[in-house]
Structure 1
């Protein structure tokens, strides 16, 4: 059953579709375009209720081809902790939550998109909003500062290297744990604006930190997971911007992925493999489709090979940077576009329009009481030479830990039990049972398998599964190396 309704806007039609009770609505985009005689899929917007009904809106041209510029008023939080970051295809505002005052929960943020999809500008909008709303922002720009250069000096901590990013994450975890102790002593079970500032840790180009082969991948994954566990109720949020949504791009951790996707998830232009992954990971309900976002809005025309060249140049067609979907919003399948920010054309230096939105005020700083727990790295964040020394020392310490088990000419068993001999200079791979014993030896009290897993991941070695840790604990307990100190608890014998 369907109903075609002309809208108040000329040449815009809305088709209401419903399938019989007991069936679930499905659609094929190509077939839908063919049935409606529409040769440009970006002119169609399809939204479903996930069950039986759908609204199909047909526009004369893509309604998001041009959007207005963002204003400071857009980026001021409303009473629900939301800011306006863009417009939906029907012109209604896209509202993203920076903070949830009803629960006192800091937010988690995930921003995905292919190269050139507009991730940096979308992130810059939120960074400006954080400054305007008194959020203390710690930002890691892992493109050596090239992604959001205007943010330097506009946030409390601006990092550009992987080593400094790890130091930043360590400091954030320490601040979250210190706040937890203070709030617990005061009888508080949630965060409220007006005391300690809301703290957001943002990692741009996070795939560089978390992809397979990254030097600090396991440690970074552990720290981000820890922030997700402890940060929400004490006003410490975490945000990741990455070029892909594959599990491997988020540290290979199901726990991390499940944690972050519960927050504000924005998807910009994507690849087909990314779409399959979104459905697999539950970010998009099975059966739902998103309208594809082309690289440009050039009209798709089928012309004879013998026709004269068209008057227009396809390269002059408007791009689609900033178009996407707010998957965590109330209308996850409605196409939107971020409000325009800064110059459209490339500039030789910092964008003055972006700097004007940031304003000249000092950014919000971390509360004084947490400076000590944030440590040397926080104190050295504006001292380039001191930070370089700290990063070099951290890198050296990690290398020493990695090389601790090396021995010339030795063949070692991997954690999966496979032999590995690459010659005289090959490092001995530390076995899982050795890592488990080291974790328990450093602990002040008996540990559960979950606690041991976290400690093992924090040592910078290879990530393992919980089942492997449990097997190692059982074996060590059975041979008397460990003792069972209680139900599910282990300690050195």
Structure 2
């Protein structure tokens, strides 16, 4: 047997009852004054009795002040912590009180008058006594002012170190009540490996070939401690167990973290659990959620952190899928765990304004907030890589329409032309109003796709004619977003427009990106037969674009393989409401408005290529009306046949140029010149021109950082160009890196 004893230490304590301390402080301040006011009116016998009674607290105060009451004695006496903290004021208060009592007993009311008002007769002996008495009373009040003004626990003097439990006592009790012949588990001996004032630990050894049968409840009864203070885990071999026994309660936070680690070990990391071969590290409070965050780390004999099913991990941790998050990282052996008492996404946030949807230089737009506090972003376009396709999926009531409004409003704010196809006919009127062209109903939606296909063919011919390597958007040739709402209405196998619609959507998915045409598909189900049965649509949109998955039906996960970014994520496990007492509360109720805070509309996952999915909630946007400018709705001015858009929409795509319909539209020849990338100087002049004072009375300056962000040009190039333009007097230099256009 080996023992390892740690140095006994004990942290400083605190006043056990702040309210009792405050009451005692008031009594110390009031005692001299009350005694001086009441004693003169008592008869001689009563006054003598009171004076005798006051001798007891005076003796206690004196013994306490000179240190005759040891720390150990004060630790066991009720209120001893207060006596230890109030040594001086308690002594002075008892002296002042005893002085008032003795004066009243010996001299009556005249004596009290001299004691209380004698300071007015200075200089005199009675005046000095009066001043001293009032000084003592004032000292008590001054010393206890912080106690009266603060109800928080106050540190008390350090208590004497708690001695460690003797090794002999631990082993004797174990042998007598557990491992001995008459013990609960004969032959299961304890090897003590560590012992200190707060805990002891060791190894329980059973006879060879037999398992350890000692339980926490048995140890609890033997050592008279709660069973929760006893932790028995696997030992070095099958006939052994590690044991750790606390001798005092752990701090609240430590108890919470220990409980989480124990729950993880027993329910999650066990063989057959949802994440076997893992453990938690660095459990810490998470300010973003109000809960805790921790690293999930693979054990030494585990290669990677397994991806758990959300429903299983929530069940194992005794919570719901909305209150637990497992986020993979680039390191396959580590993942992020967030466990919440209340999700920060529960309180939906309204869209701050249309300007919040301005894209950054790389075309990323924030749609809402992730559970970690990070912005939930989607890339709409890339100035160098071209357009980005988007797929939005979710059942009715999941917030799909609101997300589509956000994305389309983002297109409008960022000067992208919108062609909107709504086969249902009433899905999103606000998107219809901000579109350059909108087709509703199945025939109208098919017409909108035909128009988009015609523009695509024009841009293909133009690109070939002008030998355009990369698409560069301009006001006349903007990015175009082709939005197909309720896509299953046209792309399912029951649609009479399936063949034509699938052909157009596939062409846009394959060729649109490099020609500045974004394809946005929106629907309830994302299985292949609802996407025209064309794998090119799935591969180019689903895997190569941005994906927004909101609450789906129960079979959604198995309808189509999710990208790798959605490992261990199942949108079908998002309930319809944040809280519910029974299963009926999870059924969709169409009578509840979409902005009802109890619903989970807008909750889902958004991810792009090479990104990880995180639960997020989109900004609440019930209606986009009033947020877009009808006078700034762009259309593709580079398309020469835009004036014939209605005829184009009425012409089947496979009839163009075949002569099948003499009245059908015939595409014109590609014309125009190659679009040249504006120079840094031209971009600077454009940005500063947009900020010019309309009255022309003062120079409007922009800082170099603002110019860099607005032009998308590197900071070094902006600095050199602005400096050169200032020397040429094309720009006016301000202070601290600011530039503006000169007044004309």
> What's the TM-score, normalizing by structure 2?
0.45
| Correspondent of 1:365 among 635, 654, 673 | 635
1:318 and 2:627 matched: no
Distance 1:320 1:140, change over 3 A: same
Q: Contact (CA 8 Å) 2:298, 2:334: kept in 1 or not?
A: yes
What is the Cα deviation at residue 31 of structure 1? 4.3
Aligned to 1:172: 452
| Correspondent of 1:271 among 533, 553, 562 | 553
Q: Contact (CA 8 Å) 2:498, 2:532: kept in 1 or not?
A: yes
Larger Rg: 2
1:60 and 2:60 matched: no
Distance 1:26 1:175, change over 3 A: closer
| Cα deviation code 1:406-453 (max 9, x no counterpart) | xxxxxxxxxxxxxxxxxxxxxxxxxxxxxxxxxxxxxxxxxxxxxxxx
Distance 1:289 1:68, change over 3 A: closer
Aligned to 2:404: 123
Distance 1:31 1:116, change over 3 A: closer
Aligned to 1:13: 292
Aligned to 1:148: 428
Q: Contact (CA 8 Å) 2:492, 2:531: kept in 1 or not?
A: yes
Aligned to 2:376: 94
| Correspondent of 1:356 among 626, 633, 636 | 626
What is the Cα deviation at residue 317 of structure 1? 6.3
Q: Contact (CA 8 Å) 1:290, 1:333: kept in 2 or not?
A: no
What is the Cα deviation at residue 157 of structure 1? 0.3
Aligned to 2:496: 215
What is the Cα deviation at residue 274 of structure 1? 0.9
Q: Separation in 2 of the partners of 1:300 and 1:177? A: 56
| Correspondent of 1:2 among 280, 293, 300 | 280
Q: How many residues align?
A: 363
| Correspondent of 2:468 among 188, 191, 196 | 188
Is the partner of 2:461 in helix, strand or coil? helix
> What's the TM-score, normalizing by structure 1?
0.67
What is the Cα deviation at residue 24 of structure 1? 4.4
1:73 and 2:362 matched: no
Q: Specify which structure has the bigger relative contact order, considering alpha-carbon pairs within 8 angstroms and separated by 6 or more residues.
A: 1
Q: Contact (CA 8 Å) 1:46, 1:333: kept in 2 or not?
A: no
Is the partner of 2:514 in helix, strand or coil? helix
Q: Contact (CA 8 Å) 1:177, 1:230: kept in 2 or not?
A: no
What is the Cα deviation at residue 327 of structure 1? 3.3
Aligned to 1:307: none
| Cα deviation code 1:330-367 (max 9, x no counterpart) | 6543101110113xxxxxxxx4xx21111343310121
Q: Separation in 1 of the partners of 2:465 and 2:576? A: 54
Q: Separation in 1 of the partners of 2:567 and 2:451? A: 42
Is the partner of 2:634 in helix, strand or coil? coil
Q: Contact (CA 8 Å) 1:211, 1:249: kept in 2 or not?
A: yes
List aligned pairs for 1:420-435, cutoff 5 A.
Answer: none
Larger fraction in helix: 2
What is the Cα deviation at residue 200 of structure 1? 1.2
Distance 1:360 1:287, change over 3 A: closer
Aligned to 1:27: 308
1:158 and 2:438 matched: yes
1:327 and 2:607 matched: yes
Q: Contact (CA 8 Å) 2:296, 2:305: kept in 1 or not?
A: no
Q: Contact (CA 8 Å) 2:436, 2:633: kept in 1 or not?
A: yes
Alignment gaps of 5+ in structure 1: 303-313, 343-350, 382-386, 398-493
Q: Separation in 2 of the partners of 1:186 and 1:101? A: 19
Is the partner of 1:79 in helix, strand or coil? coil
| Cα deviation code 1:285-325 (max 9, x no counterpart) | 685234621011124479xxxxxxxxxxx997611111110
List aligned pairs for 1:473-492, cutoff 5 A.
Answer: none
Q: Separation in 2 of the partners of 1:15 and 1:185? A: 57
Q: Separation in 2 of the partners of 1:52 and 1:68? A: 35
Aligned to 2:505: 224
| Correspondent of 1:136 among 403, 413, 417 | 417
Coordinate RMSD, CA, aligned: 3.1
Q: Contact (CA 8 Å) 1:210, 1:220: kept in 2 or not?
A: yes
| Cα deviation code 1:1-40 (max 9, x no counterpart) | 31112234684101211114524423244443344332x3
| Cα deviation code 1:125-162 (max 9, x no counterpart) | 11111111111100012221x21112333210011022
Q: Contact (CA 8 Å) 1:154, 1:362: kept in 2 or not?
A: no
Distance 1:221 1:47, change over 3 A: same
Q: Separation in 1 of the partners of 2:289 and 2:618? A: 25
Q: Separation in 2 of the partners of 1:361 and 1:29? A: 47
Query: Following TM superposition, where does structure 1 have runs of at least 4 consecutive aligned residues deviating by more than 4 angstroms?
Result: 284-287, 314-317
Alignment gaps of 5+ in structure 2: 1-278, 584-591, 656-744
